[in-house]
Structure 1
């Protein structure tokens, strides 16, 4: 799994570089991530609470979940680009998380 993440990160970095999108600083990337998190919030709200917005068509469950996956992927990609900017491999994050949580809650 870690290899797949790093392969995707390398592909994504190349894709962004070819389109002159990689040039943006981590601070600007953070703003892009914030925008994507807002879109993710809307996708989750639509699934959990529905939408009551005039002019919007009712979406099927499949469409709602497809949108959820799209927004999760957009957030994920922004995180991978930020990692790339700081030369952090994605597998380091999962290892860091597991270690931190294990240490924090080992006596609980």
Structure 2
């Protein structure tokens, strides 16, 4: 998985650079991430509570799941770009997360 994650991040940075999107600062990226989080929130709400909106087609379960995955991927990509901007390896974050929780709950 680590190789795939790094390969995707490399591809993503190249894709953004080709379109001149990589030039945006991490601060601007946070705004993009906030926008994507809003879309993720709407996707989760649609699954959990439904979404009654005039003029919008009601999605079936397959469409809801596909939309959820798309929005999760969009958020994930913004995080990968921010990692790249600060030269942080995503794997390092996963290791830090595991170490933090292991230490916090070591007496459980």
TM category, shorter: over 0.9
Aligned to 2:56: 56
Q: Give the Cα separation in 2 of the matches to 1:55 and 1:84.
A: 40
Q: Which runs of 5+ in 2 are unaligned?
A: none
Aligned to 1:41: 41
Aligned to 1:105: 105
Aligned length in residues = 108
Aligned to 2:19: 19
Q: Give the Cα separation in 2 of the matches to 1:89 and 1:2.
A: 10
Matching of residues 59-98 of structure 1 within 5 Å: 59-98=59-98
TM-score between the two structures when normalised by the length of structure 1:
0.98
TM-score between the two structures when normalised by the length of structure 2:
0.98
Runs of 4+, deviation exceeding 3 Å: none
Q: Which runs of 5+ in 1 are unaligned?
A: none
Q: Which has the higher contact order (CA 8 A, sep 6+)?
A: 1
Once structures 1 and 2 are overlaid, which stretch shifts more, 87-96 or 70-79? 87-96
